A and B are shown apart, each in its own frame.
Chain A
Amino acid sequence: MKTIAVIFGGRSAEHDVSIITAHIPVMQSLHAAGGFDVWPVYITKVGDWYADKAMNDFAFFKQSNYEDILKRKRKVRFLFDNGLKFIWPGLLESKIKIDIVFPAMHGTYGEDGSLMGLLRMAKVPFVGCDMAASAVAMDKAFTKQVLQAEGVPVVPFVWCTKSDWSTSIFLEKSAKLKYPLFVKPVHLGSSIGITKVKRQSELENAIEVAFHYDNKVLVEEGVENLIEVTLPITGNDEPELASVERPLNKTGFFDFKDKYLSGGKGSGVNSEYSEIPAKIGDELTKQVRELGRKTYKALGCSGIARVDFLIDSATNKIFVNEVNTLPGSLYHHNWRKSGISSVELVIKLVKLAEERFEDEQNLIHTFSSSILQKVGGPKAQ
């Protein structure tokens, strides 16, 4: 039996979404599959780490006082001693070795590569994209810059950091863009802090809103006659594509409520707000799939990701909008409609993680040198 740690929560605006993803479908599927000793690892909003099997049940987080309950438990500590070990210190210290980690964190400190860096240091296989792809995909501006360089179409955009923020200069840069514009905090997902701006007078306010969430802001052109579609992908070297999905949102663009709160009764997230497969015609579907595959490879994604697209239905122009390295609830609703059950999906992701880890172990990371002996010695002529 493999011991698997599912890490979720964290210091992120998408903290609660992460709790949902960790349970539905990740932990539920791992339990259903059997063969796993599942350890839920919850990071509180202030950054405390707890590992307790009581959190396997989603009902735990439905208790209004779950944070108080956790405070009475021992926090978990880690040992990076040729692998990852959990330690609960105290008089009756207990310790377990973790065979694999399933990060189920969205947003900052989880999906942005931070956690992946930690897990690389710990020398433990982990599910999903590696550190570099996660860090780039987390930054919407970086993503567009990389994709632009790889010849993947993106909408015209400008960006700015909080320290560089100067109304006049940035407004001047933005003046080259065609309204309506979208103002986005570059590091946040789940559409948090995004504002649609229809005229210049609204722009400054929208940027200030975005700066409440992030230190870096992206302003980009909106697409006319917009059709939004998204494409979940899994795989390492050979990506496997799910169905192209079209959100049936009412507000003009995906917002947090559409994505996570508009699911049907008892259906978890994402069940009734989208059309799968998207009825956009065979040609557009084909192009979306090709661009999705190209984007996935260009960013160096592995394990799982989701590529979002904007389509101008009048010109049939397709733009890659962003890449999400941990789709909410793994977009299991889409995979299920594409013939992959949640259990199959989760098992596949675990396998992909192990394969990537094995490849990584075959690389040479250290070599012998005499440089230390030479320090302070005579300089070579």
Chain B
Amino acid sequence: MKDLLSRYHPRYVRSLVYMMQASEYRVRDFLRWFWRVRDFLHVEQRKELFMTSKSLLCLAVGYGFLFILYALAIAVLVWGIAWWQYPVFLLIILTSPFILVCVVSVFLIIVNFLQQPIEYVIIRQVGQKLAGHRGLKIAIAGSFGKTSMREILKAVLGIGRKVAAPPESYNTPLGISRFVRTLKGDEDVLIFELGEYYPGDVRRLCRLIRPDIGVITGVNEAHLERFKDIERTRKTIFELADFLHEKPLSPCIASEKGGNGMNTGATFGVKVYINGENATARKYTRARDVLYSRAGTGDWRVEDAKTDLNGSSFILRSDSRTIRAHSALLGLHHVGPLAVAADVASRLGLPTGQIEDGIVKTKPFDHRLEPKTNAQGVTILDDSYNGNPDGVRAVIEFLSSLKGARRWYVTPGLVEMGKKKEEVHKEIGRELSRAGIEKVILIRNSVTPFIERGLQEGKYCGEVMWFSKALGAFAALPNFTVKGDVVLLQNDWPDQYA
């Protein structure tokens, strides 16, 4: 009853607008979320409605329409003379929240439609600007690890070249366009993440950016609910490789930082770097593609790789050069991307010392296996933005390598796993069991019982604790932990799924 009444609360309109904004104004995603929500008073849990002109317009339309609807209901009640005035009044009042959703959805479709010509013009202008840009354009596609790869490339190449990349998760045509408009034109390297939401998205972005080289970080079940099957996900991500293989090899820009883009005439030599640790991606390697993994990439071999809570270190050796790499990034799964960055830097002509300095500058990114040790000596590994099976596997592997500490694994599970939901989550349970993690905290929802089943199948010996809400678990954790404990916060569901 309380949930039902929340639809008649004045905050209901704000909640709808927040949901639209968090769904990036995609009507399909907004409506999916709408049907899942029960309590409309508490949808803003992790974030709040950000006031933009678009959200303010939606608020005005929402409240305005509701006002008209209620005025109509009262008019029927006051001036209606026939027997039907009461049922009609009640009907309008009772159905008003649903009529409102229909109205704002239609409004959103109209706004999105009207925006298209404007967006088309903006994107076209940006495409022209990018086509004339002299910098090396690197595009990153994949189901996971795109932001980490972007940040690694930015840090390593940035030590010797002028590098620019869109902030946060600007990976849609409009987001990228917003970033490109800020470019001065003297950048040596531009790095782009390509967001894949539906088939054709990566191709569209490639046409806009015209990348010189690409990195494919892997293909897995992330967003499977939208793509329906993994082959469709794979094809969408490999639209990047398709684009690059349709054009000739890119020239290698070897200018010094701030120079005028002196072109040596040499080609870059690589079209796409593909994550060799990802079985699905590895199968689709073509000529001029290079695999990367913790064993190395191209001519580079990795030796003596180590990792702990202080970071990772390894030696990169080729026939002619040796790079001693030290990074604050945690986990051996970062060795491959670091090797890619070293290879790109080397091809761009950066000396060994600069590459080493660049690798030293790489550090954990926000909410991606980011370590924080509190005053009580408890290390929190914030991996709340990691919500894909490969990332989870890598992190459990890292956790299992930590000895002498009591380890906690806190998760609400992964979202958008589609029909692979059960399989993926049971495997997480089995991996946790194999890794011997001492404490597992699960958040009650539709997927975590599969993790529990995986734990049982793996004959898990530790303790499993349940919480009804992730925020409740985060709040309770300090009461459970002691000095020396390591707590991994694996994936935090955004409000859309919480």
A contact set with B: CB distance below 8 Å? 25, 28-29, 31-33, 264, 267, 271-272, 333, 335-343, 346
Q: How many A-B residue pairs have CB under 8 A?
A: 45
On whether the beta carbons of A264 and B480 are closer than 8 Å, the reply is no
In this complex, the member of B374, B376, B378 whose beta carbon has the largest number of chain A beta carbons within 10 angstroms is B376
Partner of A271, one of B376, B479, B482: B376
Q: List 5 A-B contacts (CB under 8 A).
A: A28-B476, A31-B476, A339-B483, A342-B479, A342-B480
Chain A neighbourhood of B484, CB < 8 A: 339
Flag if B375 contacts A32 (CB, 8 Å).
no
In angstroms, Cα B377 to Cα A28, docked, is 20
CB contacts (< 8 Å) of B374 on chain A: these are 267
In angstroms, Cα B369 to Cα A135, docked, is 51
- Contact check, A341 vs B375: say whether CB atoms are below 8 A apart: no
In the assembly, what is the distance between CA of A32 and CA of B475, in Å?
A: 9
**Which of B475, B478, B480, B483 is within 8 Å of A337, CB to CB?**
B483
Q: Give Cα A341–Cα B465 distance, bound, in whole angstroms.
A: 15
User: Can you name 5 extra interface pairs (CB under 8 A) apart from A333-B376, A343-B479?
Assistant: A264-B375, A267-B374, A336-B481, A337-B482, A341-B481
Whole-angstrom distance between the alpha carbons of A272 and B374 in the complex? 10
Q: Which residues of A contact B376 (CB under 8 A)?
A: 271, 333, 336-337
B15 nearest CB across to chain A (Å): 21
Contacts of B481 in A (CB 8 A): 336, 341
Q: Are the CB atoms of A341 and B475 closer together than 8 Å?
A: no
Q: Provide the bound-state CA to CA distance between A335 and B478, in Å.
A: 12
The answer to whether residues A340 and B482 also contact, given A264-B375, A267-B375 and a CB cut-off of 8 A, is yes
A27 CB to nearest chain B CB (Å): 10
Closest Cβ–Cβ distance, residue A114 to chain B (whole Å): 29
Taken together as a complex, chains A and B put the C-alpha atoms of A267 and B378 apart, in Å, by 13
CB <8 Å contact, A341 and B480: yes
Complex CA distance for A28 and B474, rounded to whole angstroms: 12
Q: Which 4 pairs from chain A and chain B are nearest by CB?
A: A32-B476, A342-B479, A271-B375, A29-B479
Find the A residue at minimum CB distance from B475: A28
A272 touches B482 (CB 8 A): no
In the assembled complex, which residues on chain A have CB atoms less than 8 Å from the CB atom of B482?
335-341
- Residues 460-495 of B, flagged 1 when their CB comes within 8 A of A and 0 if not, give 000000000000000110111111100000000000
Residues of the A chain whose Cβ atoms lie less than 8 Å from the Cβ of B478 = 342
Query: In the complex, what residues of A have CB within 8 A of residue B483's CB?
Result: 336-339
Quote the shortest CB–CB distance from A53 to chain B (angstroms).
15
CA distance A302 to B100 in the complex (A): 63
**Which residue from chain A places its CB closest to the CB of B374 in the assembled complex?**
A267
Q: How far is the CB of A347 from chain B (nearest CB, A)?
A: 11
Interface residues of B (CB under 8 A from A): 374-378, 475-476, 478-484
Task: Tell me the bound Cα distance from A341 to B479 in angstroms.
Answer: 6
Rounded to whole Å, the gap between the CB of A207 and the closest CB of chain B is 38
Q: How far is the CB of A232 from chain B (nearest CB, A)?
A: 14
A80 to B481, CA, bound (A): 38
Cα distance A368–B338 in the bound complex, in angstroms: 86
**Interchain CA distance A272-B479 in the complex, whole Å:** 17
Closest to B473 in A: A32
Hey, which chain B residues are within 8 Å of A267, CB to CB? Answer: 374-375
B45 vs chain A, min Cβ distance (A): 15
Find the A residue at minimum CB distance from B467.
Answer: A32
B479: which of A25, A337, A338, A339 is its contact (CB, 8 Å)? A25
Contact of B480 among A333, A335, A343 (CB under 8 A): A343
Q: Which residues of B contact A29 (CB under 8 A)?
A: 479
Q: In the assembly, what is the distance between CA of A341 and CA of B376, in Å?
A: 10
Task: Tell me, rounded to whole Å, the shortest Cβ–Cβ distance linking B406 to chain A.
Answer: 9
Q: Which residue of B lies closest to A337 (CB)?
A: B483
Query: Contact at A32–B377, with CB atoms within 8 Å?
Result: no
Complex CA–CA separation, A272 to B376 (angstroms)? 9
Kindly list chain B residues whose C-beta atoms are within 8 Å of the C-beta of A336. Answer: 376-378, 481-483
Determine the distance from Cα of A1 to Cα of B375 in the docked complex, in whole angstroms.
33
Closest B residue to A243 by CB, please name it: B483
Question: A267–B484 Cα gap in the complex (Å)?
Answer: 17
Known contacts A336-B481, A339-B483, A272 near B375 by CB under 8 Å: yes
Name the A residues within 8 Å of B479 (CB-CB).
Answer: 25, 28-29, 32-33, 341-343, 346
Closest to A30 in B: B479
B405 to chain A, nearest CB (A): 12
A70 to B377, CA, bound (A): 38
A337 touches B476 (CB 8 A): no
A339 to chain B: which residues have CB within 8 Å?
A: 482-484
Chain B residues contacting A342 (CB-CB under 8 Å) are: 478-480
CA gap between A266 and B480 in the complex, in Å: 17
A32 to B374, CA, bound (A): 20
* Interface core residue of B374, B377, B475, B482 (most chain A CB under 10 Å): B482
A33 and B476 CA atoms in complex are apart in Å by 9
Q: Which of B374, B375, B377, B378 has the most CB of A within 10 A?
A: B375
- Which chain B residue shows the least CB distance to A32? B476
A342 to B479, CA, bound (A): 5
**In the assembled complex, how far is the CB of residue A230 from the closest CB belonging to chain B, in whole angstroms?**
17
In the complex, residue of chain A having the shortest beta-carbon distance to the beta carbon of B478: A342
A342 CA / B376 CA spacing, docked (Å): 12
Q: Which B residues are CB-close (under 8 A) to A340?
A: 482
| Nearest Cβ on chain B to A332's Cβ, whole angstroms | 8
Considering only CB atoms, which chain A residue lies closest to B466 in the complex?
A: A34
Q: B residues within 8 A CB of A333?
A: 375-376
A25 to chain B, nearest CB (A): 6
User: Complex: how many Å from CA A376 to CA B459?
Assistant: 77
B480 proximity list for chain A (CB < 8 A): 32, 341-343
Write out the residue numbers on chain B whose beta carbons fall within 8 Å of the beta carbon of A31: 476
Q: Which residue of A lies closest to B484 (CB)?
A: A339
